[in-house]
Amino acid sequence: MRVSQLTYALSLGGLISAAKDALDHPGDACAALAAAFPLDVAYPNTALYIQASNYWSDRQGEVHPRCFVTPRNTEAVSKVIKILTSRNALFTVKSGGHTAFAGSSSIANGVTIDLVYLNAITVSADRQTVSVGPGNRWINVSETLDPLKLAVVGGRVADVGVGGLLLGGGISYFSGLRGWACDNVRSFEVVLASGHIVNASPIANADLYWALRGGGGSNFGIVTRFDLASFEQGDMWSNYRIFPGALNTTLIPRFQSLTVDGLPNDPAAHSYLFLTYEPPRGGYIAVTSFYHATVPSPPESTPSVFAPFQSVPGAIDSLTLVANMSTQSRIPGIPYGSRQTWWDTTVSATSASLLLDIVPLFEASNKILFAAANGSSIVPFLIFHPIPVNVITAMQQNGGNTFGLKPSDGPLMLVQLATSWEDARLDALVEESSRQLIANIESMAKKRRLYNGFVYMNYAGSTQQVQRRYGKNNERKLKRIARKWDPQGKLARLWRGYFKL
Ligand SMILES: Cc1cc2nc3c(=O)[nH]c(=O)nc-3n(C[C@H](O)[C@H](O)[C@H](O)COP(=O)(O)OP(=O)(O)OC[C@H]3O[C@@H](n4cnc5c(N)ncnc54)[C@H](O)[C@@H]3O)c2cc1C
């Protein structure tokens, strides 16, 4: 072969492979889906499309796909994924749509697979397992289980989706006893990039089972059923107290001690504490949220684990509630209809002064945001989520999850920033200020040798490298597993959004 022929052959090879890799026109992918599922493809300006565009964060809701497809069973999901991957069409997947940043379960000009119709909930005859479709919200699960006096380790807020919460981790009211939600999945039914349907459990495809517990769904396949471990549970106890923000100096040391000693000694207890800015209440407020899986006697009393907070005077407001999961899960939450971002990191919970010193950093960063907002609404939150040693120990069940946390790393405190605002012109500033604040917290923790660095996917900012923070070995292992189950890298290339490996 002469040089010119060789050059031609090589360039022709390049053209052929470029054609093979070329992305499909999203309109063509929608047409192919509509041919296969005439009733289940929604185009703009239709009632179905508007209904499917319902996202918690406005930043997600304003990203418009070329079409939504709403498969009605696992076989249909398999067919959808085959159509999309064979055509090299860009897509994303939506369960409850409760992620904060644009593009995490929405896609501009591609196809959004909305799992809303995969909403079966089945309780096994022995009451040990509840099979849940990813189209459910947590309220659907608790409304099914409450009358049976059963519960699962799941979301704390009614309207959040089952799919994203379980695949990213899942902090639950019951985590002290049982670990995070992902630790309590008995098995997953998964549609792979090839369209094949497999199960993943400790005894079947154990590597995929491990990867799906925190590794993020978008790297491995579409989960069409979660089999969750269930347990007997009646009413729960909760208490919310609102204090003036200045009292954080009294509350935070007690909260740190609750994380180190109180919660491990009473694993049926659960708690988080946050600071936010509420001008109608006079500025900063600090809110303690306490939960107990066993109702104390009498029910209006406070479980002894939370007693140190009772003696803190000056609460502006307080609510104690004894109720089933459905009622409890309707209390917390942030309404739809704002722009949202989250960022998080993890520090050692052994030092109250570190936690206290985060507060002025938060307030200083807010000053800049408030000035830029110029009167438009912006609401920043600083939230401390304990990861006490008992929770990390419970995470080791079933071979452990992907987070790479060991009991000897604990006790830990997950520090989350959450901001809601209304003016789109503030997007870049809020993102950058959150990034910077997390960097400042991490650098302060490093200087004091109190840094852990775990980033919880479901509270992470869009540019945080979540899986890297699980440790180099776990990140490498996740990549190997993703390659094994998707050897052509179709999901890596075509499934847009959230934390890709
Ligand atoms: C008000 C509120 C309260 C919250 N409370 C809690 C809480 O108590 N505990 C906690 O841990 N977190 C909580 N979160 C965070 C929550 O876990 C995440 O936002 C989670 O991703 C939401 O899941 P979703 O299905 O609604 O989101 P979606 O945006 O639909 O999905 C999130 C990601 O998961 C992927 N995905 C979804 N379903 C599947 C599937 N079946 N297969 C493969 N990939 C899939 C999507 O493609 C997307 O990338 C809360 C969030 C909000 C807004």
Task: Name which of 271, 269, 319 is nearest 294 in CA terms.
Answer: 269
Best probe residue, ligand 1, of 55, 81, 98 (max atoms within 8 Å of C-beta): 98
Residue nearest to atom 16 of ligand 1 (CA): 165
Inform me whether the pLDDT recorded for 428 exceeds 90.
Answer: yes
Q: Give span(s): CATH 3.40.462.20, the chain.
A: 236-470
Residue nearest to atom 35 of ligand 1 (CA): 164
Ligand 1 close to Cβ of residue 222 (< 6 A): yes
What mean pLDDT, rounded, does the chain reach? 94
The dihedral built from the CA positions of residue 201, 202, 206 and 209, taken in this order, carries a sign that is positive
Q: Which pLDDT score is estimated for 27?
A: 73
Inform me whether the pLDDT recorded for 19 exceeds 90.
Answer: no
Hey, what CATH topology would domain 121-233 get? Answer: 3.30.465
Inform me whether the pLDDT recorded for 1 exceeds 60.
Answer: no
Model confidence over 386-421: pLDDT tens digits?
Answer: 999 999 999 999 999 999 999 999 999 999 999 999
Give me the torsion for CA of 92, 95, 101, 103, rounded to 10°. 10
- 105 CA distance to ligand 1 middle (Å): 9
CATH classification for the domain delimited by 236-470, as one of 3.30.300.30, 3.40.462.20, 3.30.160.100, 3.40.190.10: 3.40.462.20
Give the mean pLDDT of 14-32. 64
Residue 334, amino acid: I
H helices present in 448-489, as ranges: 472-485
CATH number at 3-114? 3.30.43.10
Task: Name which of 35, 39, 131, 115 is nearest 77 in CA terms.
Answer: 115
- 263 CA distance to ligand 1 middle (Å): 26
Q: Which pLDDT score is estimated for 330?
A: 94
Q: Which pLDDT score is estimated for 175?
A: 98
Q: What is the DSSP string of 143-185?
A: HHHGGGTEEES--SSTTSBHHHHHHH----TTHHHH--GGGGE
The ligand 1 atom nearest the CA atom of 459: 15
Q: Which tokens sit at 485? A: 């189950």
The ligand 1 atom nearest the CA atom of 163: 38
Model confidence over 176-205: pLDDT tens digits?
Answer: 999 999 999 999 999 999 999 999 999 999
**Nearby residues of 102 by Cβ (< 8 Å), 6 or more positions away:** 59, 60, 62, 63
* Phi and psi based region of residue 283 (left: phi greater than 0; alpha: psi -120 to 50; beta: remaining): left
Confidence band for 15, pLDDT divided at 50, 70 and 90 = very low
Beta pairing partners, 93: 113
The ligand 1 atom nearest the CA atom of 92: 47
Exposure string over 250-272, b if 16+ CB within 10 A, otherwise e: bbbebbbebbbebbbebbbbbbb
Ligand 1 close to Cβ of residue 97 (< 6 A): yes
Ligand 1 close to Cβ of residue 385 (< 6 A): no
Q: Is the link from the previous residue into 298 a cis peptide, with omega within 30 of 0? A: yes
- 225 CA distance to ligand 1 middle (Å): 15
Model confidence over 228-249: pLDDT tens digits?
Answer: 999 999 999 999 999 999 999 9
Residue 407, amino acid: P
- Calculate the alpha carbon distances from 471 to 26, 257, 361, 406, 452 in Å: 37, 28, 27, 12, 11
Residue nearest to atom 1 of ligand 1 (CA): 333
Residue nearest to atom 29 of ligand 1 (CA): 97
Ligand 1 close to Cβ of residue 256 (< 6 A): no
- 457 CA distance to ligand 1 middle (Å): 9
Q: Give span(s): CATH 3.30.465.10, the chain.
A: 121-233
Inform me whether the pLDDT recorded for 21 exceeds 60.
Answer: no
Inform me whether the pLDDT recorded for 367 exceeds 50.
Answer: yes
Residue nearest to atom 31 of ligand 1 (CA): 164
Inform me whether the pLDDT recorded for 499 exceeds 50.
Answer: yes
Q: Which pLDDT score is estimated for 333?
A: 74
Inform me whether the pLDDT recorded for 58 exceeds 60.
Answer: yes
Q: Give span(s): CATH 3.30.43.10, the chain.
A: 3-114
Q: Which SS3 state, helix, strand or coil, does residue 204 take? A: coil
Ligand 1 close to Cβ of residue 105 (< 6 A): yes
Q: Which pLDDT score is estimated for 443?
A: 98
Inform me whether the pLDDT recorded for 494 exceeds 70.
Answer: yes
Confidence band for 22, pLDDT divided at 50, 70 and 90 = low
Residue nearest to atom 38 of ligand 1 (CA): 163
Q: Tell me if 124 sits within 8 A of 130, measured CB to CB.
A: yes
Residue 307, amino acid: A
Ligand 1 close to Cβ of residue 214 (< 6 A): no
Percentage above 70 pLDDT, the chain: 96
- 103 CA distance to ligand 1 middle (Å): 13
- Provide the 8-state DSSP code for 258: I
State the chain's maximal CA–CA distance in angstroms. 92
Model confidence over 368-382: pLDDT tens digits?
Answer: 999 999 999 999 999
Ligand 1 close to Cβ of residue 139 (< 6 A): no
Model confidence over 137-175: pLDDT tens digits?
Answer: 999 999 999 999 999 999 999 999 999 999 999 999 999
Model confidence over 352-361: pLDDT tens digits?
Answer: 999 999 999 9
* Phi and psi based region of residue 310 (left: phi greater than 0; alpha: psi -120 to 50; beta: remaining): alpha
Q: What is the DSSP string of 14-75?
A: HHHHHHHHSPPPHHHHHHHHHHH-TTSEE-TTSHHHHHHT--SBHHHHT---SEEE---SHH
Q: Which pLDDT score is estimated for 337?
A: 86
Inform me whether the pLDDT recorded for 88 exceeds 70.
Answer: yes
Q: At what angle do helices 352-373 and 248-257 cross, to 10 degrees?
A: 130
Please give the angle made by the CA atoms of 93, 188 and 52, to the nearest 5 degrees: 25
- 97 CA distance to ligand 1 middle (Å): 7
Q: CA 101 to CA 295: how far, in whole Å?
A: 37
Total Cβ atoms within 10 A of residue 372:
16
Inform me whether the pLDDT recorded for 335 exceeds 90.
Answer: no
Give the mean pLDDT of 347-351. 98
The ligand 1 atom nearest the CA atom of 456: 11
